[in-house]
Amino acid sequence: MNPKLRNNDYLYYIINKTNQHNTDNISRTKAYQNFYMEFKEIKWAFIASMVSRNAGWNMTDLFLSPFQEILSGDQNKQLFMTYERANWLIFSDAYPQLLVYKLSIQLNRSMFHLLPNLHVSQFMVQEWNNYWKNNDKERLMIALIVNEQNVIQKPVIQQSYFKYHIFLRLPYLLQDFLFMNAIILPTRKNVLYGTFVHDFTNLSKRIDLGKRISSIMFKPLIYDRLLEYAQSIEHTGSRWDYEQFLGKQFEKGPLLRTVYPVITHQDIIRSDWYKRGGIKKKWMESSKDDLNSDVSQSFYKRRELLYAYYHLRNI
């Protein structure tokens, strides 16, 4: 990039590039992964790409027979919009930060003064400047986890539409109670790593979840398998992306782009979550090692319960 360009030119480029990649779940996932392959020191980008794959699988799960039977048409659409809105919102906040980092590397000088113009929290402005000086990869990864979960807390989790149509309704409460949701970290082998999601509306628990995912993903053996999978398997939004390696018969979910249109989001007036409430000390503590990371059996046993319930309803 031309070092003589003005700040406004850089901002124009960053906003346009972000909008280009923020089209749907597929484009977001690819953008995170491509960034990570170029800048592997930014570990959060790999985590984001894998969690984004999960968001896509959750979206197409809604077309599987149990969900079609159990959920009403409105509930189905509302759940999709919850996944989509959170996925879009995190990307719209995080990807400009990644591009400012890339710009800083290219120009060999800190460009993080651009971040406030992109509505990035003062917390992350401080953390990027700290990283530029200290090169603390773990701290930056945790900071980005803390930031993304705070970014969606008010506009998605606590927003009245999602709160009353999703998080306080029986389908969500039942899934939460039975631990039926999980972040799946697949491989090209007959094993799935991951961790179960519980009490998703609790901000601190979502931050802990992100740190647990990181503790699994960056174990050397697991990391190599996940990276091999990510590089060789194109994200389509269908769980068949990884279920093809499990050696069992599954109801095949559709490709995401064949069933969902591109959603145009209304952007919101963004207030800085950090200025509203600050952070809790425990949020920035290092992630704990997650020993029980093989969820191959437990996740699909829960899925079998879901299908059993569906068949009972049909009888």
Q: What CA–CA distance (Å, rounded) separates 145 from 137?
A: 13
Higher pLDDT pick, 290 / 225 = 225
Q: pLDDT class for 60, splitting at 50, 70, 90? A: very high
pTM of the model: 0.93
pLDDT digits (tens, 9 = 90+) for 194-224: 998 888 889 999 999 999 999 999 999 999 9
As a whole number, mean pLDDT of residues 93-109 equals: 97
* Whether pLDDT at 275 is above 60: yes
Computed from CA positions of residues 40, 86, 84, 202, in that sequence, does the dihedral angle turn out positive or negative? positive
Q: Which of 35-44, 108-117, 138-147, 170-179 has the lowest mean pLDDT?
A: 170-179
Taken in order 205, 208, 212, 214, the sign of the CA dihedral is positive
Using CA atoms, how far apart are residues 228 and 211, in angstroms rounded to an integer? 22
Q: Per residue in 237-272, pLDDT tens?
A: 999 999 999 989 999 999 999 999 999 998 877 889
pLDDT of residue 165: 67
Give the closest residue to 96 by CA, choosing from 109, 113, 115: 115
Contact 129, 26 (CB under 8 A): no
Summary mean pLDDT of the chain: 90
pLDDT in tens, 147-196: 999 999 998 888 877 776 676 665 655 555 444 588 999 999 999 999 98
Dihedral angle computed from the Cα positions of residues 57, 62, 66 and 70, in that order, rounded to the nearest 10 degrees: 140
Please give the structure tokens belonging to residue 181: 């949701």
Alpha helices, DSSP H only, in the chain?
7-21, 25-38, 43-61, 65-70, 73-107, 122-134, 137-152, 160-162, 170-177, 203-217, 220-232, 240-243, 256-259, 273-277, 296-314
Angstrom distances, CA of residue 272 to CA of 192, 210, 277: 37, 21, 9
The pLDDT of residue 292: 64
